[in-house]
Amino acid sequence: MNVTELQNRLRDELSPYLQQHSGNPVHWFPWCEEALEKARAEDKPIFLSIGYSTCHWCHVMAREVFTNKEAADKLNQWFVSVKVDREERPDIDQLYMSATMAMTGSGGWPLSLFLFPDGQPFFCATYIPLNSNLHSIGFLDVLEAIHESWLKNRDELTDTAKKTVRIIRRVRQLPSALSPEELAGKCFHILQKAYDRKRGGFGPAPKFPRPSVFDFLMNYAAVSGDSTAQSMVTKTLTAMAEGGIYDQLAGGFHRYSVDAEWRTPHFEKMLYDQAQLIETYSMVYERTGEPLYSNVIRETIGYLFTTLKSSCPLFYSAEDADSPDPYQEDGHGEGLYYLWTEEEIIQILGRDVATLFTYHYGIEFDGNLTVDPRKEFTGRNILYCKHPLADTARRHNLSETETIHMLTEAKQRLLATRKMRIRPHCDTKIITSWNCMLVRALAKAGRALDNEEYVLQADAMLTFLWNNLRNDGAYQLFRLYDVRKGKKQGKGQLDDYVHMTSASIALYTITKKKQYLEQAVNLTQEQLAVFWDDGQQCFYDSAPDTTLLMRTYAEQDGAEPAANSVAADNLMQLTTLTQDGSYARVAKKVISSFAGKMESYPAAMPLLVRVLHGASDTQQI
């Protein structure tokens, strides 16, 4: 074992992301008391790097910066370097993402921060190139500047840190003068104004699917009778299902669309996106009966079983955005596993079938991706439904049945070829909350499609989670599970508790098995004991941890819903299921805690607005 392996403390970590950095010349620590104590004892600032194993720009910075000897030498001499997997420690990620947003106005991964030994941040950034250029300062120059300021201008760094901490500690309890109906109406009108009537979705590029928005709009349509809200959802879901953000060959959704047309995706595939979108499409299919949505549900579940399923009933967390280039030896880049040249499609399908296929799926000789800043995609194509089926059939003098048959056969042949390529890296972390999202989604898909197998899989997953991801005899959850070692790890965060509670409620509602209602009740009691903040009158997102600067609360239903929003939803459902009004009283406190945020910009927390609107409609609050 060489010196670097001894000094880099990531070698024995379970996280695939930390393992990716275990061979760096940087003397990394995982987040731990030992690292903080070393910084205190040696009077050094902490360099904190936060990312995840399927993150494209994390890979770029790793290759450019963390394997560079000059950068590593400066980090090792002047700083204590700490690497964090954001999916393993969402509490650390949320705290320092809030600091980065407060300091710079934007965020993303990788996060790159410099902290005092007590955890107060004084410099925040995201991706930093190794060397300075016309657009940004380089990492080597950042290290020099911070080292100089640490020695000569520490008071200025202290002032910056204190200002940032004051912002992220701000009190959130502000009253709202709006009624639930007025809040819901305001939320709807904000979303309506941001809605892209031509292409679906909300706002300009990049476009992220936000299932909590779809949930709010479908509920708003049901309660208010405004059909516009539902049409906004159905147009968006259809555009997504026909776009490049959806894997047209094997199912499953990429992370988001970098253009406004849903065509050019950011190519990573996350378990939480699949779970939430399966649930969304199931909900809307039950309301509309649209066959496209049922196909999306089946194909996405099929993708999960063929690609992310572990050897136990649970599922891995993600597939990478990057992959080897099938056309260029030693080539590697984003999305290359999913892309095609027109020439290869003609070779595989033959010219006659390829003519039909390339017309329907928008294949072009020069490539069809709309965003290509690094010129990586020249001549490459993503499959997306450019022309409606009827148009494709008419243009080629075929019936729609014949066209479907030919397109289906062509897709199978392309899929067989794609399977011979090297797949993107799979992050084999098993995360409690994301698997619980999938439990709920499978249960609801089973109901929507009348498929008992989906419900049985959900049942097997929740049983396994209950038996393996909590302390024996106590309702204390773990965050992670390593199926290879049969090892559980990490304190359960609030989102682990609320999503397991929600999954238990969903399975109880569908199967009527009393054990699931009992689990939901017991988990809620444990959640109150571990996470309740008497001062703020809501739940902390993070478990107690003496190494953290502070415990935080998410104020946005983003790619994943805020844990307090899910908690409030669970509490209102338990009120109905148990006829115990104490749950509604706690939910009211949670909602009141975020009332000011909801009034100022309700579209930031559409799930919590939906909970309040639905509860007021049933006179529970």
**How does pLDDT run across 309-325, given as a tens digit for each residue?**
999 999 999 999 999 98
Q: What superfamily in CATH does domain 3-168 come from?
A: Glutaredoxin (3.40.30.10)
3-class DSSP assignment, residue 121: strand
39: which 2 tokens? 């910084």
Predicted confidence (pLDDT) at residue 543 exceeds the cutoff of 80:
yes
Confidence of residue 35 (pLDDT cuts 50, 70, 90): very high
Sequence-distant (≥ 6) Cβ neighbours of residue 54 within 8 angstroms = 268, 270, 317, 318, 319, 320, 321, 424, 425, 427
Return d(Cα 191, Cα 236) in angstroms, integer. 13
What is the pLDDT averaged over residues 509-520?
96
The answer on pLDDT for 171 being more than 60 is: no
Q: What is the pLDDT of residues 450-495, one digit of tens each?
A: 999 999 999 999 999 999 998 876 668 999 999 988 889 899 999 9
Asked whether the bond before 110 is cis by omega within 30 degrees of 0, the reply is yes
Contact between 5 and 11 (Cβ < 8 Å) = yes
Of 196, 195, 293, 305, give the one whose Cα is nearest residue 241.
293
Cβ atoms of residues 9 and 30 within 8 Å: yes
Of 85, 72, 60, give the one whose Cα is nearest residue 4. 72
Q: What integer is the mean pLDDT of 192-203? A: 96
Q: What pLDDT score does 173 carry?
A: 55
The domains of the chain are located at: 3-168, 322-423
30: preceding bond cis by omega (within 30 degrees):
no
**Confidence label for 329 from pLDDT (cuts 50, 70 and 90):** confident
- pLDDT average, residue stretch 401-423: 97
**Residue-wise burial string across 285-318, b where 16 or more C-beta atoms lie within 10 A, e elsewhere:** bebeebebbbebbbbbbebbeebbebeebbbbbb
Summarised one tens digit per residue, pLDDT across range 133-147 is 888 899 999 999 999
Query: pLDDT class for 591, splitting at 50, 70, 90?
Result: very high
The pLDDT tens digits of the residues spanning 41-81 come to: 999 999 999 999 998 899 999 999 999 999 999 999 999 99
> What's the pLDDT score for residue 2?
46
Q: How confident is the model at residue 418 (pLDDT cuts 50, 70, 90)?
A: very high
- pTM of this prediction? 0.94
Residues contacting 484, CB < 8 A, separation 6+: 428
pLDDT at position 5: 47
DSSP 602: G
pLDDT digits (tens, 9 = 90+) for 202-239: 999 999 999 999 999 999 999 999 999 999 999 999 99
Backbone φ, ψ for residue 61 (5° rounding): -65, -35
Q: What pLDDT digit, counting tens, does each position of 361-385 carry? A: 999 999 999 998 878 899 999 999 9
Rounded to the nearest 5 percent, the helix, strand and coil shares of the chain are 55, 10, 35
Candidates 552, 533, 549, 556; CA nearest to 541 is 552
Q: Is 91 helix (H, G, I), strand (E, B) or coil?
A: helix
Per the structure block, which two tokens stand in for 189?
């009108």
Phi, psi of 615, deg, nearest 5? -70, -40
